[in-house]
């Protein structure tokens, strides 16, 4: 009986359970393999109680469920693990313990499901000789090596549905409603949900925005009888000139700066453009819920593909989606550069063709 | 041809369009009636352009849509209308203009769809001789005269679905997630969604809460291996002792006070109970979306019943739900006292039987 | 430690798991009680392996899930249980075995969650001395003793959403689309979903229908430029004159008779009214899915109330909803007559006020 | 002012309205263009009343709605249009009339949104000199030239949600539930929804199936304590040997043959495998509903790209999705071969890795 390990790391994303189930079902079908799950990401490799055998029963019924039955801790970087020593929080490199644990358990492969951060850790562990296979997971879609990852489609649907809900209220009450979405460095959720949800203004981190342009769009709409607008803004979107702008805008934005960028935009619209406005911060609602069909389909294909890599002992690789196909590529190549919205791609082009305001 | 007017006032609530459609379809079926819609609540009675004839075509396809095709202004109290005079905002009583407009249009009845505020205005207008028929509408369910109003069921479903989404993330990441829900004075949404969504702590305006009890519940759960909890808190929930408590809790809560009560509870849980926590403020998402089947069914019954009252010239009355039946009662009686969660009712009793924390 | 048993019987209904969870959480909170679950309804009382202890862990995470973790067998009437004897299927009275098993396990109370059929069995067992407490459950809403039962609201929402989906297709393709819904003897689902989903024709078992009236409605709409209609028909709806009518309508309806009433209506509309038509039979989709907030709220209140009855040793009673309150009443009274759509109630009145076709 | 025409043809698909809106908004933004919509596909080119100008107002609020505001007739092939001559239905070539109408209206481009059938007609019209631009639309995903079309993602989500609903009932009642899905020649919906919805058996047109294998899978599951299964079957799936098999299986399948393949499989499972079974035919529910975020995003990108092709006068081409990008290619190339599930692709490979039964 050969052993495969699996762990999930980083922020929550719908589809993690579908991956785990796919690996376990694949191992059961293949025969000759047992699957061990580590609890709370790499933490489970440090704790003797952190390992659980994953039988078919353990994964029964989890396909449609958000979250991860394995848990996913937040301080889980074994190269820089937060610990308290003499009353002070310090970083400790415990990666050798992780390596030792994997060897002790005689794992043939360790499947690591995670985002950019977790996969970089996995790559370092691979360089230390561990039999790593990576599966990308990110709400933000910021991993270059794959067209898209699971969790993203669910998040975009959640955000789009939120825009639908807000749209009718904005229209009935002649308001501007600002929806702040996830995306610290990459604006994929705001761009796709913004277009799918009919937002009039879409602000993303890749394009520093100008408050004036927003006002022109909103007031232009009002001039054509549309006394309402909706704005989709990524949490990482920033105005041209950054902090300077806030300072110039003066006191009325003081409290807004304590909130996020959504709050700032809403206060600007109300204070300067003269339209009543409201803000909704979607936050963690984007990370939960039952995964969409696409995310379950992708996560299941990723899980099955990762298991096949394990059988082939093809370590140091990451599974990925290219067009309609699942491929695999070296982890270091997949993670070389983070992915950002292509300013010449057809998402941005579509927004411009339709005349949406991108803030520039 | 006799004329009926209709207007919608106050905050948004799913089902307003279903009411309008029901009135128009009823008038068309009955024959001999035309329906005039006023735009933006009572504002439409002040503006010569504020009236639109509502044909079957005008209401085609609106049954499943949130919002209101008539709009609903926010400064719409004709007894105290905000206007700017000599650069200053003042209140003006324009109710006589409203009365005059209704008489000029020769309306036999004016159906007013609104919450507590709008219906109180309607009652005053009835006392001035206007042929008012009221239809209750409130997300918060705080109108005593009716078992429930449309919009509430949709809001509770939205809030419950949000708790579902947050629950799996809370569990996977060992966090406390606080969901702040609508309800300034009445805790119905938080109570029902809290129970339906499996919240461990439910805080409502009717029960001043004790931070200590929250900690005990959350830590008690952790002690039994449940290293996560979810909290449903109504925006109007307040700690015992109110502001005092915040002051005693010191600086770490300073920023929290700028946010809502949800933020405060989350910071307390993280700072004092020692559990990582997050907050989501559901806000306007509760007011939008396609109405649930129940809300459409109720709104349609209300609309049809209001039309029948119009035919009977039964003015000064409000339609209401009692058990499974639609009834009507005098507006003043319906609005005599606001509705609050019954502390001896079976909602609270259920929470106690299950051992949920209500903060007291 | 005192013991309470619980079992679920009859057809599936969203909310069963919420009931089970509520009973288990209530018992845990109260202290001094353990809860035993019987698998597959009364079958679990006949099989030594049919009992399982229900801990908090056993009910963790089941609140939002359809189905029942206890299972619900279909041949489960212990007074007339299907068994094969000498190659022939015969009915056997094994009720004494059930009584014996309950006594042997020293159950203080047995909570039976079921529809009309299962609760009648429970009533008979109560008459034989068993400590029965009933919780009503029916998709069809046909239990007189309660305003409504859990499962119904979810079914109506599923049916309404189906009408929404079909409506746009019917309109775009100028078709009549017939949706066949559950309801063999009671038309509540078809009536409420029909109104909530904007159906033009609603056919229920309580009102024998006339094909001619349907044609007039559909063709009348076409004459006003609405070249499409949607029809909601309960599976138990029947034309006036019954089989006679089919025979007269001749050969073109021959195959339709092998399908359900939905197929018959669709073929009639196409063959006689001359409009292209399609039929969709919603079937078991109405029995599944995550329960709505209302159904979870109701099911949880029912479960908590049943536990309180168990503590009070109040046997032979059924919990019920009356207005906004949970009450309890004698089982025999609750089951005395089956509930049907009130032809003078405001549901039917609403349909008539709006001019919907009820087939009469 | 230059003129662009647009029409929608063939079966319904969520996203058609999003395409129309995108074209109209693009034209408005660009300036110098007006958009004419033809009603009911090519029929609108034959009827003097069949044209409508599409302003921004006309497309307001249609983004989230299923169906098509332009309608889509079913007899719309102008090369072989069904007409009644002397009491007989005959086919007539009216393509010259269509060409004449387009010329008379001085359309610079005609955007045709349709599936395989409609686009083949468009190709023939292009060969007759018409300025055609194609946008692919198919629920079934059977157009080779594009990775995927809009409508498909919504259909797969609807089918997956149906499997979720049926799964808990199947489990609670120990049944086999068969879900019949769309796909006469291509099994994409059944394959993807089957995997996403956790079906145990997936039957598609591309793989003739063996009843025996189905029984083995279902009974094998029962042997491991899973006394239930779900089956996803495409309407076009056929057993090995086809009709022969039905005949051999004898009388018990006689009625089943009048139903679809889903009914046949369910009767076989009940009659031969000895497990209680039910069937649900999802039918037109797959064609309706609000489009998913992905379908709106794709449809909007298609619409904007088609408008840009119109500006460039690039006729005879079809827009398509390749990976994450929108491209365009010659219509004849795009339609050269119909797309089928790749038996060596990773969808099938995933099913085999997980041990799902594909019937072979």
Residue C209 per-residue DSSP state: B
Active site residue D346: no
Q: Are D10 and D286 in contact (CB under 8 A)?
A: no
pLDDT band at residue A82 using 50, 70 and 90 as cut-offs: confident
C354 CB neighbours in chain B (<8 A) are 22, 25-26, 29, 300, 304
- What was the pLDDT predicted at D246? 53
Token pair of A109 as six digits: 């492969």
Q: Residue A187 to residues A140, A194, A293, D260, D321: CA-CA distances in angstroms?
A: 8, 10, 23, 46, 21
Inter-chain residue contact C72 with D284, CB threshold 8 Å: no
Residues of chain C with pLDDT under 50: 247-248, 250-257
Minimal Cβ distance to D25: which of A290, A293, A354: A354
Write down the pTM of the prediction.
0.95
pLDDT of residue B251: 46
Pick the closest to residue C18 from B197, D174, A291, B168 (CA basis). Answer: B197
Which candidate from B169, B255, B285 shows the least CB-CB separation from A287?
B169
> Does D256 score more than 60 pLDDT?
no
Query: What gap in Å lies between CA C19 and CA C112, rounded to an integer?
Result: 11
Helical spans, DSSP H, in chain D: 16-30, 95-104, 116-127, 152-173, 188-196, 211-223, 243-249, 254-258, 261-268, 293-311, 331-334, 346-354
Question: Hey, what are B115's tokens?
Answer: 């919450």
Looking at residue A65, its pLDDT comes to: 96
Where is D280: in which H helix or E strand? strand D277-281
Q: Among partner residues D196, D304, D353, which is closest to A350 by beta-carbon distance?
A: D304
Structure tokens of D78? 């102008």
pLDDT at B231: 98
Least confident of C101-115, C153-167, D68-82, D118-132: D68-82
Neighbours of chain A (3+ CB pairs under 8 A): B, D
Chain A residues inside the 8 Å CB shell of B278: 283-284
**pLDDT of A276-325, one tens digit each?**
999 999 999 999 999 999 999 999 999 999 999 999 999 999 999 999 89
Residue A158: pLDDT over 70: yes
Say what the pLDDT of residue C86 is. Answer: 86
Asked if C354 and B300 touch (Cβ cutoff 8 Å), the reply is yes
Classify residue B14 by its DSSP letter.
T
How far is it, in rounded angstroms, from Cα C338 to Cα B143?
33
Average pLDDT, integer, range B105-120: 96
Contacts of B66 in chain A (CB under 8 A): 165, 168-169
Q: Say if the Cβ atoms of B325 and C346 lie within 8 Å.
A: yes
Q: pLDDT tens-digit profile of A163-209?
A: 999 999 999 999 999 999 999 999 999 999 999 999 999 999 999 99
Domain spanning C155-287: CATH 3.40.50.300: no
> How far is the C-alpha of A70 from the C-alpha of D355, rounded, in Å?
23
- Check A169 against B12: CB less than 8 A apart: yes
CA–CA gap between residue B148 and residue B140 (Å, rounded)? 9
CATH 3.40.50.10330 fits domain B2-151+291-334: no
Token pair, residue B72, equals: 């609903």
CB nearest to B354's CB, from C161, C304, C326: C304
Domain boundaries for CATH 3.40.50.450 within chain D: 2-151+291-334
Q: How many CB atoms lie within 10 A of CB A251?
A: 7
Residue of C nearest to D159 (CA): C285
Shortest Cα–Cα distance, A71 to chain B (Å): 4
- Among A61-75, B268-282, D90-104, D255-269, the minimum mean pLDDT is found in D255-269
Flag if C173 and D280 touch (Cβ within 8 Å): no
For range A141-146, the mean pLDDT: 93
Chain B: closest CA distance from residue A295 (Å): 16
How much is the pLDDT for A193?
98
Q: How far apart are CA D38 and CA D54, in angstroms?
A: 10
Q: Choose the weakest-confidence range: A74-83, A246-255, B335-344, D172-181.
A: A246-255
**Do C293 and B148 make contact, defined as CB atoms within 8 angstroms?**
no
Chains that touch B (3 or more CB pairs under 8 A): A, C
d(CA A150, CA A18): 10
Q: With an 8 Å Cβ cutoff, are D72 and C40 in contact?
A: no
Kindly state the tokens that stand for B69: 């095709």
Interface of B with A (CB under 8 A): 8, 12, 16, 40, 65-68, 70-74, 158, 161-162, 164-169, 171-174, 177, 255, 258-259, 276, 278-281, 283-285, 287-289
Q: What is the Cα–Cα distance from B292 to B155, expressed in whole angstroms?
A: 9
Closest approach of chain B CAs to the CA of C158, in angstroms?
9
What pLDDT does D76 receive?
A: 72
C293 → closest Cβ in B147, B156, B307: B156
What are the tens digits of pLDDT across the range D10-43? 899 999 999 999 999 999 999 999 999 999 999 9
Contact B73 A173 (CB under 8 A): yes
Q: Is the pLDDT of residue B78 over 90?
A: yes
User: pLDDT class for B166, splitting at 50, 70, 90?
Assistant: very high
Q: Would you state the pLDDT for residue D75?
A: 64
The CATH class, in words, for D152-287 is: alpha beta
Q: What is the pLDDT of residues A87-98, one digit of tens each?
A: 888 889 999 999
In this structure, chain D runs to a length of: 360
Structure tokens belonging to residue D115 = 């599936």
- Across the interface, whether the CB atoms of C198 and B349 are under 8 A apart is answered no
From chain A, pick out residues whose CB is under 8 angstroms from the CB of D195.
296-297, 300-301
H or E segment to which residue B237 belongs: none
Residues of D with CB below 8 A from C281's CB?
Answer: 280-281
Q: Is residue A75 within 8 Å of A42, Cβ to Cβ?
A: no
Mean pLDDT over the full length of chain B: 93
Q: Say yes or no to pLDDT of B335 above 70.
A: yes
Q: In this complex, do A169 and B65 lie within 8 Å of one another by their Cβ atoms?
A: no
DSSP code string of C159-189: HHHHHHHHHHHHHHHT-EEEEEES-SS--HH
**pLDDT value for C76:** 73
Structural fold of domain B153-287: Rossmann fold (3.40.50)
Whether D331 has a pLDDT exceeding 70, the answer reads: yes
**With contacts defined as CB-CB under 8 Å, which chain D residues touch C174?**
40, 71, 73
Of B280-294, B306-320, B326-340, D72-86, give the lowest mean pLDDT range: D72-86
Instruction: Identify the residue with better confidence: D75 or D128.
Output: D128
Tokens of B107: 């309306």
Mean pLDDT of the B97-103 span: 95
Compute the distance between CA of residue D184 and CA of residue D200 in angstroms, rounded to an integer.
21
Q: Are C50 and C36 in contact (CB under 8 A)?
A: no
Element (H, E) at A58: none
With beta carbons under 8 A apart, name residues in chain C contacting D173.
Answer: 11-12, 71-74
Cβ-Cβ contacts under 8 Å between C and D: the total is 114
Which residues on adjacent β-strands are paired with residue D326?
D321
Inter-residue contact D290 to A157 (CB < 8 Å): no
Q: Are C36 and C107 contacting, i.e. CB atoms less than 8 angstroms apart?
A: yes
Nearest chain D residue to A321 by CA distance is D323
pLDDT at A16: 98
Q: How many residues does chain A have?
A: 360
Whether the per-residue pLDDT at D252 is higher than 80: the answer is no
Q: Which residues contact D224 (CB under 8 A, 6 or more apart)?
A: A56
pLDDT at A238 over 60: yes
Measure D188 CA to nearest chain A CA, in Å. 12
Question: Stretch B56-70: mean pLDDT, rounded?
Answer: 96
Q: Number of CB pairs < 8 Å for B and C? A: 138
Predicted local distance difference test score (pLDDT) of residue D245: 57
Rounded to a whole number of angstroms, the distance between the first and last alpha carbons of chain C is: 59
* ipTM, interface predicted TM-score of the complex: 0.94
What is the predicted pLDDT for the residue at A76? Answer: 72
- C173/chain D closest Cα distance in angstroms: 6
CA distance D198 to chain A (A): 7
Burial A304-333 (b: 16+ CB within 10 A, else e): bbbbbbbbeeebbbbbbbeebebbbeebee
Q: Is the pLDDT of residue B227 over 50?
A: yes
For chain B, what percent of residues have pLDDT higher than 90? Answer: 87
Average pLDDT, chain D: 93
Does A253 have pLDDT greater than 50?
no
Q: Measure in Å the smallest separation between the Cα of B292 and chain A Cα atoms.
A: 13
Q: What is the DSSP letter of C27?
A: H
Question: Which residues, in sequence order, are CB contacts of A26 under 8 Å at separation 6+?
Answer: A303, A304, A307, A308, D353, D354, D355
- Residue C241: the pLDDT is 79
Chain A residues whose C-beta sits inside 8 Å of any chain B C-beta: 8, 11-12, 16, 40, 65-68, 70-74, 158, 161-162, 164-169, 171-174, 177, 255, 258-259, 276, 278-281, 283-285, 287-289
Phi–psi pair at B40, nearest 5 degrees: 60, 45
- Confidence tier at A252 by pLDDT (50, 70, 90): very low
Nearest by CB to A288, which of B168, B276, B279?
B168
Query: What positions of A carry a catalytic annotation?
Result: 140
Residue from B293, B311, B357 to probe the interface with C (highest C Cβ count within 10 Å): B293
Tokens representing B7 are 């207007």
- At residue A246, the pLDDT reads 53
pLDDT reading at B141 higher than 80: yes
DSSP A265-313: HHHHIIIII---EEEEE-GGGGG-SSPPHHHHHHHHHHHHHHHHHHHTT
Residues of chain B within CATH 3.40.50.460 domain(s) are: 153-287
């Amino acid at each position: 009986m050969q052993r495969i390990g699996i762990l999930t790391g980083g922020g929550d994303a719908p589809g993690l359970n579908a991956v785990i189930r796919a690996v376990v079902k694949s191992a059961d079908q293949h025969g000759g393999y047992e699957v061990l799950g580590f609890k709370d990401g790499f933490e489970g490799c440090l704790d003797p109680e952190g390992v659980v055998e994953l039988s078919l029963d353990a994964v029964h019924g989890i396909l449609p469920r958000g979250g991860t039955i394995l848990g996913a801790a937040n301080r889980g970087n074994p190269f820089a693990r937060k610990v308290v020593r003499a009353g002070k929080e310090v970083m400790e490199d415990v990666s050798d313990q992780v390596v030792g644990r994997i060897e002790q358990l005689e794992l043939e492969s360790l499947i690591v499901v995670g985002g950019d951060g977790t996969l970089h850790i996995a790559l370092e562990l691979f360089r230390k000789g561990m039999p790593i296979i990576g599966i990308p997971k990110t709400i933000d879609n910021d991993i270059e090596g794959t067209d898209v990852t699971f969790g993203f489609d669910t998040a975009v649907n959640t955000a789009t549905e939120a825009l639908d809900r807000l749209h009718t209220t904005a229209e009935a009450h002649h308001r501007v409603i600002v929806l702040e979405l996830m995306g610290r460095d990459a604006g994929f959720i705001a761009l796709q949900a913004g277009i799918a949800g009919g937002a009039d203004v879409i602000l993303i981190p890749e394009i520093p925005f100008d408050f004036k342009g927003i006002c022109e769009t909103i007031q232009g709409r009002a001039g054509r009888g549309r006394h309402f607008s909706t704005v989709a803004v990524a949490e990482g979107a920033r105005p041209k000139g950054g902090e300077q702008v806030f300072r110039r805008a003066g006191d009325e934005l003081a409290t807004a700066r304590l909130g996020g960028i959504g709050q700032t935009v809403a206060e600007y619209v109300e204070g300067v453009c003269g339209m009543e406005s409201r803000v909704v911060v979607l936050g963690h609602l984007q990370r939960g819920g039952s995964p969409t069909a696409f995310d379950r389909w992708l996560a299941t294909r990723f899980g099955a593909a990762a298991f096949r890599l394990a059988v082939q002992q093809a370590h140091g690789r990451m599974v990925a989606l290219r067009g309609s196909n699942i491929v695999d590529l070296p982890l270091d190549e997949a993670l070389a550069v983070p992915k950002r919205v292509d300013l010449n791609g057809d998402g941005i082009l579509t927004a411009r063709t339709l005349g949406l305001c991108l803030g520039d």
